[in-house]
Structure 1
């Protein structure tokens, strides 16, 4: 049993640095198409929840959205570590194949438990959000990495724009299973193209996999997400989640080759980026859970606490479209700003966007279609800049052989804070009832609850901006990982043989 023998993770091969612009663009485009699967898992499926509830005769249809997050909390850190140890492309294709199996199961299952099992297998697709950035770092010339990361941001913005519209049309025309068949074909084509056209990375981390640490981290994160989405077990689940995460950090200090080095997490460029991700996750979680409800709430003439009454198409056109366009444009812009000036500046622009968008709602200024579009632009700026800048900050902070697992920590930070945000801010909104819907008997929230919720989001954006301003890391033009320091394998205790 011998350790891997590979080039230093801080040095790229001559083949990579000499890769042409055209080849680099091809790699970036394919990776961007792969990362769209993360958003499509939810945006394509969400319009069909009502149809699924009828088909499976269940009143627990929210599990369709929460199961992938719960399973993802466990598997994404493991997949991230496997990618660092065994190779990004190999692990990405394996995770993608598992995702395809889950998609087929969702498209064909006639029993609800089997359908949910398929959604659980689909959680492996979430790993593309952390593995693909490592592929960009390892496979394209360093000078193009910041722009490449921005290019992936374009894909994220595009999927946020296309997903709800395409999903709504497919489900309305062909039924909810058509969304899964489309996702199957799309993903299979992209995975095949990656298998044929993208080379494997040469960087490896000569570590054993810390499955115990991965289980503690994943189960802790999943318990927090479960508590956020289920009032019946909220208190117990959150307590268990916090305890598991505390045990994880204590245990990682005692392991020679932990899931992620505590010394690495202790680097200001890492923990401050994770803190920014958690703070932005509050805003992002609220946007996903609250904004559709707020903008589509019934409009009651003469009542300034009622909603705008947007239809599904109206919501897509006046919020989804401008938000997606702004996110796609700012993802690429943030990559350019990171390369030309600094990723810290790109992040600051994004958090200013999140702050201004939150204040628009917090001060009750979203009262018509014009201000809705302005809100969408601000939130699109926030999302595009965040996803590009945060990855560039991590690339500048960590060695290449820990890129994927560190990215999984950022993913976990966003998901946990987003889930908790959507739950607790949703409860805050629900405590302000305007009236009962005369047709359904369901309570219609007052806009006052949304105003208070987004003042909390504005505070979270301020926290993210303050941390960004205080950060000493990322103040110079991004190098694509050239100055990220020594390999973690060189700074940690000697590695055990890898089987």
Structure 2
């Protein structure tokens, strides 16, 4: 690769700062469309969980949502580091190609284990949630970065809006596999557009990828999930999982360039943001895996512990539509709040919405169409404000040459917490069975399990709010990274650092 012209730390290249408004908007739009894949692989799929459970004859259907969260939590930090070394656009396109392979597998296989393998490959698409934020920071003028991040929030909100409705219609009309075929077509078109129209970033930093750390974290989290889902192996799996995670933490302290940087983690602005992300991940994992089943559970007249009996499209209209509208609006609003006031204030607004939404389910208040719409609204507020504010908090906390690393750390915190949450809370749901569906043979869960699960989610959000209130970082208007210092256009260094 050609070398880069050095510039003063804290400044972007003149080409970037002088990029036209039209070019900047094009980049933001295409990057936002790419990040929609992250939400689409959940929102398009979640309305069909009950259909998948019947088709694959499984009671472990929450794994459909757990597997990509778990695999993504391990793989995405590696992808983030590779993006810093070899270029964000190049690595993003490679991850996108792997995602397409997994999507085709999900659309075609008849075996549930192979289907889960496809979901694992789809986790590579989650890399866009880390890499695309870095592209925004690297490629557009600093003054546009907070609004660019908010624009990505709009994209995520739009996919949260469109995904359930489109997925619900496809699933009700053509079966759940049609959602994966649509996802393949959409993703392929966006990946081609990114390849042709978005420039590569010149920001580089040498990294050595911590594959051992990724292996330890992945095996540790997997052992905990196995223990949650297998009563016979519960004790040995929990002990093994905890031991592996302890070894992971100890090993990370001894590695010069670990999967999770302890030196970066020591910064209050970083570890507090990661703690909030993990707490929110508990709720996010529950929303993805549990809410579709809760709202689509059969309605039994005279039984207040039965579900609403929504179809896939009904779930999309009553929950997905208000959630998506709120998330799309709040993603952009959060960018404005961060720029005019502070990203910390935006985070507080988002966590307040998350707390109210959790309590609605916990107290059993989601039993009518109006209550379902209200739940979607509050969860949408939480999504829109969380994703925009958390990224702006990290952008303000660290220089550009560690943006992808810290972004992947946040992603790992959120996704691993979400994977563990969906697995453990899914077990709670399974312990409260109302009856067996005489038509499908599938167990119908009691709403009591969902109520207990969302009390746990509410407790996690209380932790997030407490951390946000204690945070000294992010109390001033967002600068787009200028406050944290930029290290752009430094001479390229060999990507073979030592431990």
Checking the alignment, whether the CA contact within 8 Å between 1:327 and 1:385 is kept in structure 2 is yes
TM-score (norm 2): 0.89
Q: Which moved more, 1:154-163 or 1:8-17?
A: 8-17
d(CA) in 1 for partners of 2:201, 2:9: 11
2:12 pairs with 1:12: yes
Distance 2:428 2:57 in 1: 30
* Residues 82, 221 of structure 1: alpha-carbon distance in 2 compared, 3 angstrom cutoff: farther
Displacement of 1:425 = 2.8
SS of the residue corresponding to residue 338 of structure 1 reads: helix
| Distance across 1 between alignment mates of 2:447 and 2:74 | 36
Q: In 2, Cα distance between the equivalents of 1:365 and 1:108? A: 39
SS of residue paired to 1:380 = helix
Q: 1:70 to 1:427 in 2, by over 3 A?
A: closer
Within a 5 Å distance, the mapping from 1:157-172 to structure 2 comes to 157-172=157-172
Q: TM-score, normalised by structure 1?
A: 0.89
Q: Distance in 2 between matches of 1:308 and 1:481?
A: 46
Residue 208 of structure 1: SS of its match in structure 2? Answer: coil
Q: Offset of 1:81 from its aligned partner?
A: 0.7
Q: Matches of residues 76-87 of structure 1 in structure 2 within 5 Å?
A: 76-87=76-87
Give the CA deviation at 1:190.
0.8
Whole-angstrom distance in 2 between the partners of 1:226 and 1:273: 28
Alignment match, 1:178: 178
CA deviation after TM superposition for structure 1 residue 164, in Å: 2.8
Larger RCO of the pair (alpha carbons < 8 Å, separation 6+): 2
Tell me how far 1:32 sits from its aligned partner.
1.1
Q: Which moved more, 1:3-12 or 1:14-23?
A: 3-12
* Pairwise CA distance, 1:50: 6.6
Q: 1:467: which partner in 2?
A: 467
Of the structure 1 ranges 1-10 and 15-24, higher mean CA displacement relative to structure 2 is found in 1-10
Alignment of 1:46-85 (within 5 A): 46-47=46-47, 64-85=64-85
Distance verdict in 2 for CA 1:425–1:256, change over 3 Å: closer
2:127 counterpart residue number:
127
Instruction: State whether structure 2 residue 329 is matched by structure 1 residue 325.
Output: no
Return the alpha-carbon distance in structure 2 between the equivalents of residues 104 and 176 of structure 1: 13
Aligned residue in 2 for 1:252: 252
Q: Aligned Cα RMSD in Å?
A: 3.2
Residue 251 of structure 1: CA displacement?
2.0
- For 1:485 and 1:390, locate their aligned partners in 2 and report how far apart those are by CA, in whole Å: 18
Q: Does 1:397 align with 2:397?
A: yes
Map of 1:378 onto structure 2: 378
Separation of aligned partners in 2, 1:297 and 1:270: 40
Distance 2:495 2:186 in 1: 40
Q: Following superposition of structure 1 onto structure 2, how do residues 352-371 of structure 1 map, counting pairs within 5 Å? A: 352-371=352-371
Deviation at 1:27, TM superposition (A): 1.0
Cα shift at 1:331:
0.9
Q: Which region of structure 1 is more displaced relative to structure 2, 19-28 or 357-366? A: 357-366
How does 1:264-303 map onto structure 2 within 5 Å? Answer: 264-303=264-303
**Structure 1 stretches lacking a partner, 5+ long:** none
Could you give the per-residue CA deviations for residues 277-317 of structure 1, whole angstroms, max 9, x where no partner exists?
A: 11111222222222223333333444444333333332221
Segment drifting more, 417-426 vs 62-71 = 62-71
Count of aligned pairs: 495
Give 1:20 deviation, angstroms. 2.0
